[in-house]
């Protein structure tokens, strides 16, 4: 409370970031060789020209999303200078959970060696991290939580059809995490989330488990051109909307960190926002598309390399299956 008795504003702010990539780094050449063994043709040139991807990391069969989430979370906690016991909320964004239930967030809580705090998963595919961050921000602002761990963790290699060259070259595995804390100073300034389920079919993994069997297809399917067209339009629109909510303009953005799916979508978005391309954080070249993990992985890379500094205005953007999209504008 302020001296006048009015409630002082309460914000959420990123206290620390972390990330983790599994050890197996697979270059385009490596992948082309592996696919050639099954008679599938692709090349480094095709993948780089159409997507900007040069390599991705794949988890080993024993590594589940929570195993990638754990070291990413530990790094974020260390950077934030807080102990796991201080967390009162864990949210994991994933479309490749360890199991049907318990949630990956509960399994992560166990691996962190703590208990009692709220823990749940958010499923919004490649928009998952922005969705999870927005939920955590709202819970902190409302007073429902004080310190939150927000993670994006994926093992997309498990749902790739390695006989479909139009999708299997695009994705990778990894995890990124942030610790959010309540603050009197504004951190997250504005967020906005959207979904349009008229487009469920353009990007989906339409299988489930029933009666001990996989029913439907357990593999990712995508109409790449339809996704491409939708993505560029919604990413510009939602960015402009959160800028307006926060009373900022595109000229104020220090760093743009969009979902790392395809360099052409990312550069197209930056150009529409009239941004210099050197303010665009790019990790898709080294990570591929890691779905919900891509934004926090890119944020952590940008923080640890010294590009994103305290006080910088950062635009995070997600877009993916559902069709879902969203943005978060924050003072780092």
**Least CB distance from residue 228 to ligand ACO, whole Å?**
4
Using DSSP's 3-state secondary structure scheme, residue 152 falls into strand
| Active site (annotated) includes residue 331 | no
- Relative to beta strand 313-320, strand 324-331 is antiparallel
**Least CB distance from residue 283 to ligand ACO, whole Å?**
13
- Cα angle 191, 140, 133 (rounded to 5 degrees) comes to 40
- Judged by CB under 6 A, the residue of 12, 19, 28, 42 near ligand ACO is 42
**Least CB distance from residue 286 to ligand ACO, whole Å?**
16
CA 222 to chain CA centroid, Å, is: 19
- Judged by CB under 6 A, the residue of 230, 265, 282, 329 near ligand ACO is 265
Q: How far apart are CA 26 and CA 168, in angstroms?
A: 12
Q: Is 331 in the site for ligand ACO (CB under 6 A)?
A: no
**Least CB distance from residue 250 to ligand ACO, whole Å?**
22
Nearest-CB residue to ligand ACO?
Answer: 224
**Least CB distance from residue 15 to ligand ACO, whole Å?**
28
CB 308 within 8 A of CB 255: yes
Q: Is 218 in the site for ligand ACO (CB under 6 A)?
A: no
**Least CB distance from residue 154 to ligand ACO, whole Å?**
10
| Active site (annotated) includes residue 259 | yes
CB 282 within 8 A of CB 3: no
What contacts 46, CB < 8 A, 6 or more positions away? none
- Judged by CB under 6 A, the residue of 191, 291, 324, 331 near ligand ACO is 291
Structure tokens at 158: 């498990």
Q: Is 203 in the site for ligand ACO (CB under 6 A)?
A: yes
Q: Is 174 in the site for ligand ACO (CB under 6 A)?
A: no
Looking at the Cβ atoms of 213 and 225, the one nearer to ligand ACO is: 225
The phi-psi region of residue 255 (left if phi > 0; otherwise alpha if psi is between -120 and 50; otherwise beta) is beta
Listed residue (239, 238, 223, 240) closest to 321, CA to CA: 223
| Active site (annotated) includes residue 287 | no
CB 315 within 8 A of CB 190: no
| Set 106, 117, 126, 204: catalytic member | 126
Q: How far apart are CA 36 and CA 38, in angstroms?
A: 5
Q: How far apart are CA 266 and CA 279, in angstroms?
A: 11
Size of interface with ligand ACO, in residues (CB under 6 A) = 24
Looking at the Cβ atoms of 265 and 303, the one nearer to ligand ACO is: 265
Distances from the Cα of 250 to the Cα of 88, 190, 232, 237, 266, angstroms: 34, 14, 16, 12, 15
Candidate segments 40-48, 74-82, 108-116, 185-193, binder of ligand ACO by CB under 6 A? 40-48
Binding site for ligand ACO (CB under 6 A): 42, 46-47, 50-51, 125-126, 165-166, 169, 203, 222, 224-225, 227-228, 261-262, 265, 289, 291, 319-321
């Amino acid at each position: 409370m302020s001296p006048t008795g009015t409630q002082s504003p309460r914000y959420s702010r990123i206290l620390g970031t972390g990330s983790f990539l599994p050890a197996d780094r697979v270059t385009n050449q490596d992948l082309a060789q592996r696919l050639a063994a099954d008679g599938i043709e692709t090349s480094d040139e095709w993948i780089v020209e159409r997507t900007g991807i040069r390599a991705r990391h794949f988890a080993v069969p024993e590594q589940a999303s929570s195993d990638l989430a754990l070291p990413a979370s530990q790094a974020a906690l260390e950077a934030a200078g807080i102990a796991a016991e201080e967390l009162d909320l864990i949210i994991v964004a994933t479309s490749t959970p360890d199991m049907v239930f318990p949630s990956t967030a509960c399994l992560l809580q166990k691996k962190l060696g703590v208990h009692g705090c709220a823990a749940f998963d958010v499923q919004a595919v490649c928009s998952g991290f922005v969705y999870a961050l927005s939920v955590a921000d709202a819970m902190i602002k409302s007073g429902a939580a004080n310190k939150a761990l927000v993670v994006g963790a994926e093992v997309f290699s498990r749902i790739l059809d390695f006989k479909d060259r139009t999708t299997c070259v695009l994705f990778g595995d990894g995890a990124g995490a942030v610790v959010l804390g309540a603050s009197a100073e504004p951190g997250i300034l504005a967020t906005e989330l959207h979904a349009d389920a008229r487009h469920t079919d353009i990007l989906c993994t339409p299988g489930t488990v029933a009666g001990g069997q996989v029913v439907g297809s357990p593999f990712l399917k995508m109409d790449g051109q339809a996704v491409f067209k939708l993505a560029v339009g919604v990413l510009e629109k939602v960015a402009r909307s959160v800028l307006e909510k926060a009373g900022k303009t595109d000229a104020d953005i220090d760093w743009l960190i969009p979902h790392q799916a395809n360099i052409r979508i990312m550069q197209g978005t930056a150009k529409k926002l009239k941004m210099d391309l050197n303010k665009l954080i790019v990790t898709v070249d080294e990570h591929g598309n890691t779905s919900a993990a891509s934004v926090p992985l890119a944020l952590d890379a940008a923080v640890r390399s010294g590009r994103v500094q305290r006080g910088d205005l950062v635009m995070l953007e997600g877009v993916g299956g559902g069709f879902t999209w969203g943005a978060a504008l924050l003072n780092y």
